[in-house]
Amino acid sequence: MPELPEVETVKKGLQELIIGEEITKVTVYYERIIQNTSIPDFCESLIGQKIVDITRKGKYLIFILSDFILVSHLRMEGKYFVKNREEKAKHEHIIFSFKSGKTLRYQDTRKFGTMDLFKTTNLQEVLQSKPLVDLGKEPLDVGFDAEYLKLKVKKSSRAIKSILLDQTMISGLGNIYANEVCFYARLNPSEPANTLTDEDFENIATGAKLVLTKAIALGGTTIRTFANVHEIDGRFQNELMVHMKENCSICGTKITKEFVSGRGTYYCKKCQKKR
């Protein structure tokens, strides 16, 4: 699943390629992607709209248009590509045609992605509406620090990894980066959140910022299928410390894989001892 660094990479690529483009046609091949309006309304409303800007909140892409705002979530396998052709390729479910002759193509082998069209240009209004309103701060936001984490966690006995994956508490982290942040903080992923110290929270906040910043700089992580809009793989997989690793990058101990909150979890039993 694309996480914050991958979505940020897609955002930057789309900004380079389609800012200023005018939509002349929208074709929807898989209707369930469109969430909050009818397919005819979605397609007709977007004709004549220009791409003014593209931003992001957590794992959501936000397209700022002339008169509307389009919110897109890639879910498990969603991707955007820009092509100079009209014919549909396999797994392409929505095609936006532009006046210039370019096309923006939404491809999704799993068909789990979503799009919500808001008939406003007020971004704050959209951020205060579902699906964005319930998102917590992301690690790169101003105000994301140890105090924020302590306030969100309070007295929760949930595993710290479960907290890191909860988008209402921290937006943008998924399985890969949650594993990496736990390793940075030297925390066992199943450690109950209410046992963490002030130093632990400091380490989580610092680790999340460092890991995500480096992952963005390297174009995200490609484990299986992620590619940016230029169809280029990310490079952060070469920097992973525990996720899908055989041995610990620090001490050489064999990496353990267990399921925490239903998610495949990688950690070092020596560096991340359970308390």
| Residue 275 among the catalytic residues | no
| Residue 263 among the catalytic residues | yes
Q: Is 165 in contact with 190 (CB distance < 8 Å)?
A: no
- Provide the 8-state DSSP code for 176: H
| Residue 8 among the catalytic residues | no
Q: How far apart are CA 256 and CA 10, in angstroms?
A: 32
| Residue 239 among the catalytic residues | no
With CA atoms as reference, report the closest residue to 76 among 39, 14, 33, 35.
33
Q: How far apart are CA 197 and CA 226, in angstroms?
A: 36
> 8, 11, 21, 59: which one is catalytic?
59
> 75, 111, 158, 263: which one is catalytic?
263
* Helix/strand/coil percentages in the chain, nearest 5: 30, 25, 45
Q: Enumerate the β-bridge partners of residue 170.
A: 137
| Residues whose CB is less than 8 angstroms from the CB of residue 86 and which lie 6 or more positions away in sequence, other chains included | 95, 97, 103
- Provide the 8-state DSSP code for 151: H
Adjacency order of strands within the sheet including 103-107: 23-28, 92-98, 103-107, 79-83
Positions annotated as catalytic residues are 2-3, 59, 263
